[in-house]
Amino acid sequence: MYENTDALAVVRALRPDEPITLLRPHAATRAARFFVEKFQGKSLYAVKANPSPALLELLWNAGITHFDVASLGEVRLVNKFLPDAKLCFMHPVKSERAIAQAYHNHGVRTFSLDSHDELEKIVRATNGATDLELCVRIRVSSEHAKLSLASKFGADPSEVADLLVATRQVADALGICFHVGSQAMTPAAFSEAMEHVRAAIVQASVTVDIVDVGGGFPSVYPGMEPPPLESYFDVIHDAFEDLPISYSAELWCEPGRALCAEYASLLVRVEKRRGSELYINDGAYGSLFDAAHVGWRFPVQLQRSDTSIGTQMAEFSFYGPTCDDMDHMAGPFVLPDDIQAGDYIEVGMLGAYGCAMRTEFNGFGETETVVVEDEPMATLYSRSAANDVGLTNRQARASKK
Ligand SMILES: Cc1ncc(COP(=O)(O)O)c(C=O)c1O
């Protein structure tokens, strides 16, 4: 792993043939400290967003002690690198073997579920354990989020009360959890979901020990500039305080994206230009899955020494390196109009659901990693005035030129 100051320094030093993942440990540390200090409860890192061991370690060092894991692979991974971390198995549909191994071999005591079948599975796999923390996942709307998580998981409101009562009977601690969908653009997503939590508690008349508001905390992308995270935290805390639960009940959240989006960006090379289409050396099967499959617009910046001041900007789409027509990212990505083969582009905000999605399809997928010291292309955590619109000083300076 090399260390360098910023993307342009990496281009100058290496002129890399393969895409390079640029890591900003300081940005992930800053995000973790923010959650640890400002969220008035426990912040669990959702490992699926980026399972890199280096990131896990730096989040741990910044004060994140609980991890939301969704598979046995993630259980083993976190257990290996952070043996003292508390693991919460928050996938509501697990194999019995995965539950048994997590419980008996890895010390996992916290599981989520959204059906009676899953509850029975957990009881069987743990041999009727009496030290379980069980969180019932309820279905809530994803209407305020950019990526829906409303269809697949979550008990229906008509089943929730029964399931809470049944779970209460076997759980040492009973929780309610939900997910408002990823990249929730307004705190109202959480206040509305908390109304469903209230209704469920009232209907079931059970004592609830944990309220877990899940993930969904946003990051900043072109055309997606959310309000400050503090406003989400305030809404959640106020709603939590209002719930009919005991004083000792705990508030949890499970951020993925918000903790690691700023951690990584990607340096790619333009291999060919065809009009407004740029053929680049990473794509749908690499770190740009979301750009291809859900049309996510990541920020981009040309990394060229003699940046063409005064050159017109233009809109481009990207093709990735594989032979597949679907390896296409519509964007639009706004870049200087004189961009050509051999130029390098930095694609920002790929720390969450970017690096984690890489495959080696078609023989591509090789990437080196370089630690850089500059700011990410956008941040929700900087105290600068530019932060009001979600821009870093770097972008603010660029946009003044
Ligand atoms: C159960 C659970 N918790 C947390 C997360 C993290 O969500 P986000 O990255 O939107 O914060 C996810 C994402 O799919 C999830 O399924």
The pLDDT tens digits for 106-130 are 999 999 999 999 999 999 999 999 9
Q: How far apart (Å, rounded) are the C-alpha atoms in residues 271 and 274? A: 10
Q: How long is the chain?
A: 401
Cβ of 392 closer than 6 Å to ligand 1, yes or no, is no
- Beta carbons within 8 Å of 95's beta carbon, 6+ residues apart: none
Ligand 1 pocket member 74 (CB < 6 A): no
Mutate to test the pocket of ligand 1, among 68, 87, 113, 350 (most ligand atoms within 8 A of CB): 68
Q: Give the C-alpha distances (Å, rounded to integers) separating 343 from 180, 304, 339.
A: 40, 7, 7
List the domain boundaries for the chain: 2-22+261-400, 26-259
**Residue whose entry in the numeric block shows the structure tokens 């697949």:** 152
Q: What is the pTM of this model?
A: 0.93
Q: Which residues of the chain have pLDDT under 70?
A: 1-3, 307-309, 383-401
**Ligand 1 centroid – CA 158 distance (Å):** 24
Which of 253, 260, 323, 355 is the catalytic position? 323
Residue with the two structure tokens 């409303």 = 150
Three-class DSSP category at 242: coil
Q: How many secondary structure helices (H) and strands (E) does the chain include?
A: 12, 19
CATH 3.40.50.720 is the classification of domain 2-22+261-400: no
Task: Tell me, using a 6 A CB cutoff, whether residue 68 lines ligand 1.
Answer: yes
Do the beta carbons of residue 45 and residue 347 sit within 8 Å? no
pLDDT, residue 110, reads: 98
Among 111, 149, 355, name the best residue to mutate to test ligand 1's pocket (greatest count of ligand atoms within 8 A of Cβ): 149
Q: Which two tokens stand for residue 302?
A: 């040309």
Task: Please tell me if the CB atom of residue 46 comes closer than 6 angstroms to any atom of ligand 1.
Answer: yes
CATH topology match: 2-22+261-400 vs 26-259: no
CA distance 367 to 10: 14
The reply to whether ligand 1 has any atom less than 6 angstroms from the CB of 90 is yes
Of 75, 66, 77, 18, residue with least CA distance to 39: 66
Atom of ligand 1 nearest to the CA of 352: 9
Ligand 1 centroid distance, CA of 341 (Å):
37
- The whole-number pLDDT of residue 305 equals 85
Please give the angle made by the CA atoms of 174, 110 and 113, to the nearest 5 degrees: 70
Residue 401 Cα to ligand 1 middle (Å): 38
Q: Give pLDDT, residue 387.
A: 40
- Going from the C-alpha of 18 to that of each of 281, 356, 369, the distances in angstroms are 7, 17, 11
Q: Is the CB of 256 under 6 A from ligand 1?
A: yes
What does residue 87 show for φ and ψ, rounded to 5 degrees?
-105, 135
Rounded distance, CA 108 to CA 75, Å?
8
Which 8-state DSSP code applies to residue 35? H
Say if ligand 1 is within 6 A of residue 137 CB.
no
Give per-residue pLDDT as tens, 238-274. 999 999 998 899 999 999 999 999 999 999 999 999 9
Closest CA to 255 of 212, 211, 217, 213: 217
Residue of the nearest CA to atom 12 in ligand 1?
Answer: 215
At 155, is the secondary structure helix, strand, or coil? strand
**Fold assignment, 26-259:** TIM Barrel (3.20.20)
Show the DSSP H helices in 82-217 as ranges. Answer: 96-106, 116-125, 157-170, 188-204
Q: Of 337, 339, 280, 343, which Cα lies nearest the Cα of 314?
A: 337
Residue pair 86/75 in contact by the 8 Å Cβ criterion: no
The answer to whether residues 73 and 94 touch, using CB atoms and an 8 Å cutoff, is: no
Q: Write down the pLDDT at residue 384.
A: 45
The pLDDT of residue 389: 36
CA-closest candidate to residue 98, choices 87, 86, 114, 82: 87
**CB-based contact 195:244 (threshold 8 Å):** no
Tell me which amino acid residue 117 is.
Answer: D
Does the active-site annotation cover 323?
Answer: yes
Q: How far does the centroid of ligand 1 lie from the alpha carbon of residue 349, in Å?
A: 17
Q: What is the pLDDT of residue 173?
A: 97
Note the pLDDT of residue 390: 41
286 touches ligand 1 (CB under 6 Å): no
Distance 305 CA to ligand 1 centre (A): 39
